[in-house]
Structure 1
């Protein structure tokens, strides 16, 4: 194959444009595991283009995200995942999809979309205004993580059981979220449920979708 030929040549630079796209699912999964050590052994610099963010996470190394032909973020793959620079990148690197909620910063508190107030000390310095709070499904849990965790109440829409993991789809006001929990937690549709979210696991974005850094003060207007 073209992939094998490129690696055998031991070129200094290897460019791969979606090399696994036409393979069946099983073979694609196998190669995703085999390619990283293979790339390391060749000593080549490999540029691997893919439209699947999860593939980038599996391959590791360094990741560059592109939008409309421009690089929007570059760094170690784990860093791009944990510290996305904008909402679109955060959504791309989240499976199941990123949970979001509109919030208003008012004084020292966040006013959540369910009219609940949440005091989050790490965001005290940012300007008042409207923001989007993002959090990944595995960070929405059935038990509080710490004393700053906020309780989010809602109604179960459906529960998916996958092996020893549960995906709880819930509705809270106008929001629909997914909680990814370990163990079998099979809630019937319509069941009231309380979930907990810690501020340390939240991503905050401004009205333009840019990640808010707690180290600098935002300017609105």
Structure 2
């Protein structure tokens, strides 16, 4: 049976941490809870684990009322943001610890531990001390220890957030393979993150959440291509999608003295005001473009993020190389209108480049 919840709410001190959250998680699948800090992700995972009791709602798993199942009976493994390992034990002993607690035969333990270490890229690290490992390797030990439990539900609470940029990028690419190799078809993986790239990389079902409320559920590709609301568009993009108040008049999109041709997918929005959405990656530097002023330039990995302004309009564009800019520099940019989104005045998607609409 699936892990199913209906209308879970948790409201300590008159502030919703969960607001009527419902879901249907199927065995053998990966789910990503995507939301900003304090959106309710950790609260939801702790509720599933049994560490928090909701004020209302229901949750069932394998024909049982899961809210009445004690923590120690839930067969759940959890990986936290911090690297939780036993410093007095070596790598092998850390991973074997939960199996020894169950008094499993030593030969079986050895096979399971070595398989888990191989799946997380730590083959040959058996006798290393925890203190000898990098942060990423320590997190892999935590993950391997969770995998050997063969838990029916694996919860990962922003497991990459404390790693450096390069290591996060590397592990993000590896996680999906780790899950597919290290878990049975009877397991459910629930991964929480603030990073849209992680959600896209895992390529499972995404649950976009904000202020304790589920905003949209769907495949990662669908959330990215057709965000239901302005809030989902912000959550599912890094940096957040640029949102501009615009008007279509005489087949032109107009805002802050800028006029660009209307793309075909917005041709039904003539003579109305709407919120124009465009990703930072769909704005490019161009000598023939519109002039903006640099407010801030920041290097993010191999990209340069430019914070620009023109009158009351402020936008962010990303350049796929490291470049130097000074505050108040003048730059010219063009907008890829084939990639723009339109949201109505209520913030609901009216038209996307991929044919999506919720109005």
Distance 1:186 1:134, change over 3 A: same
The CA distance in 1 between the partners of 2:203 and 2:309, in whole Å, is 34
Structure whose CA Rg is larger: 2
Structure 1 residue matching 2:199: 3-state secondary structure: helix
| Equivalent residue number for residue 147 of structure 1 | none
- Does 2:221 correspond to 1:83? no
Question: 1:116 matched to which residue of 2?
Answer: 258
Partner of 2:334: 196
> Given that residues 168 and 178 in structure 1 are in contact (C-alpha distance below 8 angstroms), is that contact kept between their aligned partners in structure 2?
yes
Q: Which structure: greater helix fraction?
A: 2
Mapped contact 1:157–1:190 kept (Cα < 8 A): yes
Aligned to 1:50: 192
Deviations 1:124-183 (A, max 9, x none): 212532211111112111139xxxxx9332111232245643222211111222221123
> Which residue does the alignment assign to 1:134?
277
Gaps of 5+ in 2: 1-76, 80-143
Cα-Cα RMSD: 3.3
Deviation at 1:117, TM superposition (A): 2.6
Unaligned 5+ segments in structure 1 are: 145-149
Paired position in structure 2 for 1:99 = 242
Deviations 1:25-49 (A, max 9, x none): 2598365444311221223342414
Structure 2 Cα separation of the partners of residues 85 and 77 of structure 1: 13
Matched, 1:155 2:296: no
Q: Which segment drifts farther, 131-140 or 29-38?
A: 29-38
- Cα distance in 2 between the residues matched to 1:19 and 1:184: 28
Separation in 2, partners of 1:48, 1:189 = 42
- The number of equivalent residue pairs is 211
Which residue matches 1:35? 175
Moved more, 153-162 or 133-142: 153-162
SS of 2:179 mapped into structure 1 = helix
- TM-score normalized with structure 2 length: 0.50
SS of residue paired to 1:212: strand
